[in-house]
Amino acid sequence: MKRTVSTLGFAALAIVILMVAGRSRIFGVALEDKPTAQVKIDNFVFSPNPLTVPAGSTIRWTNQDDIPHNVVSDDKSFKSKVLDTDETFTYTFTKPGTYTYFCSIHPKMTGKVVVQ
């Protein structure tokens, strides 16, 4: 019986750790951030645009075009690698503010994230 209790306790702890890890980086291990909002890149357009999210949100961009794009903030505070078709980029916005970004390969493509 005692053993069952400790197993359950360990399992509960593991679940808590996984839940926390899913939302942020802990224990020095970078885990894939779970997105809370999505931006799709389709027909050379970011949408939705602008996107308003609460602070702490993780946004995932997905390239749905046949042409590679990237996601680069105007002030270079974040920059994705080149995203080929179906590739994604995630970034977590911790501080409130307005973040403008663009595709540096096709600079006519611009977008904005408003963090509240």
Binding site for another protein (CB under 8 A): 43-45, 65-68, 74, 81-82, 84-85, 100-102, 104-108, 110
Q: In the complex with another protein, which residue's Cβ is closer, 48 or 54? A: 48
Q: In the complex with another protein, which residue's Cβ is closer, 60 or 106? A: 106
Task: Give strand pairing partners of 97.
Answer: 115
Task: Give strand pairing partners of 61.
Answer: 39, 89
The nearest distance, CB 34 to another protein, in angstroms, is 26
- 3-class secondary-structure state, position 7: helix
Tokens 């970034």, residue?
Answer: 91
Q: In the complex with another protein, which residue's Cβ is closer, 93 or 101? A: 101
The nearest distance, CB 99 to another protein, in angstroms, is 12
The nearest distance, CB 71 to another protein, in angstroms, is 12
